[in-house]
Amino acid sequence: MKEFPSCFGENGVQVANLSSSSSSTTRGSQNVVTCIYQCKLRGRSCLITVSWTKNLMGQGLSIGIDELGNHCICKVDIKPWLFSKRKGCKNLEVESSKIVILWDLSYAKFGSGPEPLEGYYLVVLFNKKMVLLLGDLKKEACKKIDRDSVSVKSDAIFIAKREHIFGKRFYCVKAQFCHKGKVHDVRIECDTYVGTNDPCLVIIIDSKMVMQVKQLKWKFRGNQTILVDGFPVEVFWDVHNWLFGNTMGNAVFMFQTCILAAEKMWSGQSVYDPSVLNWAYSQQFRDSQLQGLGFSLILYAWKNE
């Protein structure tokens, strides 16, 4: 089996440590969703990391801006569970550049996880240029910006997401597999295969089974290619801690777009053939390919005993 990819992109940007050694960490400290976006600052590629957290005190948010090469430009922690912090603005002066962060979580709606589902906006401005705009309240966000002096178009590209999910035998999550891609219902199941005592791993996307791994005790680590929206996605799994670790152990799953596999498919088939690729999504995938980008979704699946 190939090792879990720990980096992606033309410059090998590290997105996560996929080791499962942190299995003793409690659920409360791990309820976090981290999203990574690539953008341009001062003509150079940079990463903006947005982490949504949830603990006994409430919701939290941190934003980090890093140049490729691990040079941190800035990091801001926001505690919106304090009433006065649910809406606000942060102004920073970094290396003669002005960074402005605007947010409004006053009417944000949350599910079981820490990331808001709707009713919010988050904006990052760099030298009066919008580099990131998140949330469904885009009109409200733009009203807070001086359009005469600020560019209101964001070119940030969603390139990676890391999320902790919880369950017993079933683990469910909403997920995208490319920038601006369709949101899918992903369900991961680990149960005994019918008629045997051998555990079986199943992945279901939008009620359709896309992957099944039998004899899981022998195949507790592996990788397999599936099709989502007509283009290939490589799935890596490590369920060793589920099967052989302690009761608080977590499994790790990575879903990564397969540029090389897609190239092989395109070389032999027409991308306009609906039986091979859905045109709309193949075009999105080609666009991301031209920019040297893939997409990685990393899921830490924790057992609730």
Each residue's pLDDT, cut to its tens digit, for the chain (305 residues) gives 444 333 333 333 333 333 333 433 445 446 899 999 998 887 788 899 999 988 777 788 899 998 766 677 788 888 756 545 788 889 988 878 899 999 999 888 988 888 999 999 999 999 888 899 999 998 888 888 876 556 667 789 999 999 999 888 899 999 988 888 889 999 999 876 655 678 899 999 999 999 999 989 899 999 999 998 878 899 999 999 888 876 667 899 999 986 554 444 444 443 333 333 333 334 444 444 444 457 899 999 998 76
Q: At 188, list the tokens.
A: 């991961």
Q: Compute the Cα dihedral for 7, 162, 99, 93 and give only its sign.
A: negative
Q: How many angstroms separate the Cα of 110 from the Cα of each of 59, 119, 130, 302? A: 10, 9, 25, 20
Q: Residue 133 and residue 102: Cα distance in Å, rounded?
A: 10
Q: Are 175 and 184 in contact (CB under 8 A)?
A: yes
Q: Compute the Cα dihedral for 5, 8, 10, 11 and give only its sign.
A: negative
Q: Residue 97 and residue 99: Cα distance in Å, rounded?
A: 7
> What's the pLDDT at 209?
95
Q: Residue 287 and residue 282: Cα distance in Å, rounded?
A: 9
> What's the pLDDT at 81?
61
* Residue that has been written with the tokens 């809406």 in this structure: 87
> What's the pLDDT at 78?
82
Say how many CA atoms lie within 13 Å of 163 toward its Cβ. 19
Angle, vertex CA 238, rays to CA 237 and CA 241, nearest 5:
150
Q: How many angstroms separate the Cα of 197 from the Cα of each of 158, 192, 194? A: 41, 6, 8
Q: Residue 292 and residue 97: Cα distance in Å, rounded?
A: 27
Give the number of other Cβ atoms within 10 Å of residue 82's Cβ.
10
Q: At 176, list the tokens.
A: 């995208």
Q: Are 178 and 227 in contact (CB under 8 A)?
A: no
